[in-house]
Amino acid sequence: MLLTMKPYGTTQHGEQVDLFRFENAHGIIVEIINYGGTITSIQTPDRNGTFEDIVLGFDTLQGYESNDNPYFGATCGRFANRIGNGHFELDGQFYQLATNNGANALHGGLRGFDKRVWEVQADAEKLLLKRTSPHEEENYPGTLETEVTFQLNDLNELSIQYKATTDQPTIINLTNHSYFNLAGKGSIRDHLIQIHADRYTVVDDDAIPTGELRKVADTEMDLRQPTAIGTRIDDVQGLGYDHNYCLHSTDGSLAIAAEVVEPVSGRTLTCLTTEPGVQFYSGNFLNGFKGKYAHTYHKQNGFCLETQHFPDSPNQPTFPSTRLNPGESYTQTCIYRFSHA
């Protein structure tokens, strides 16, 4: 395994950012910057050995810092996904967060983990990113010590391992927000997706869960068998898929959440997780973003598989808990496995 580093730029706050490049024995390349713990490039081969970059992003650090960045490749926290009305209660204490998604809080706030420069520890095998989120950062309680470890192996697996501890009760929900396009460009509507979930979290028109876990059977949400993303996407609530699927595995063991195949190239992505949910997002709000390689990203030009606990869990007592107490460790693993048919 080869891991190299080079300077990537300086943030608007004057912080140095570096780019870390993994390359395995099969020529697969993964590039990550310590700004936002962001995956900027994943290059994988098709069935003929032709390599393409299969994640959306920007050419420069300024792109990732821009207000237009829709979390391309980012590590999202402290609480990924949405919290209804931007507030929650914990042990009788009311906490009001920034409302940066209409009336709701999204992906950790105005300056969440995706907009922070992380401390780096790297060796030939792995990239460890660390940061201390102080008490009341973005109005979350407790000082949170967080580590995210990236590794690429010769089985063509990119693993992302998360760990966090706190000095007082808090909530936490971390995820990676890479947008994939297994063709390298164009629409994802012909990609075949399979998600191993019988139920999903029903949401209101603001994408906040109602508390109902509805069966996918006989609905446009049923992706239990390989299905072209575009088959029923126009029947989905809102502008397309942006829903949390409740996975079969709920005991914290590593299991396959989803598989996606791009039929022309044969490129295949398998997503494994220890989390109870995965947010399948079909890039509904990509409305002319100017991305890398002079690409312009339009609606449904990328998809996300965000492994996570369920949205708005702090306000939904029947959902798996996102509470973290002192003396406990938050841990989760996500693996993106690359292959071709």
Active site residues: 177, 306
Tokens 């993106």 belong to residue: 336
Give the C-alpha separation, 15 to 316, whole Å: 38
Give the C-alpha separation, 186 to 264, whole Å: 12
Give the SS3 label for residue 189: coil
Give the SS3 label for residue 293: helix
**What would the 3-class secondary structure string for 15-55 be?**
CEEEEEEEECCCCCEEEEECECCEEEEEEEECCCCCEEECE
Contacts of 204 by beta carbon, 8 Å cutoff, 6+ apart: 210
Give the C-alpha separation, 323 to 94, whole Å: 15
Phi-psi group of 165: left, alpha or beta (phi > 0 → left; psi -120 to 50 → alpha; rest → beta): beta
Give the C-alpha separation, 311 to 152, whole Å: 29
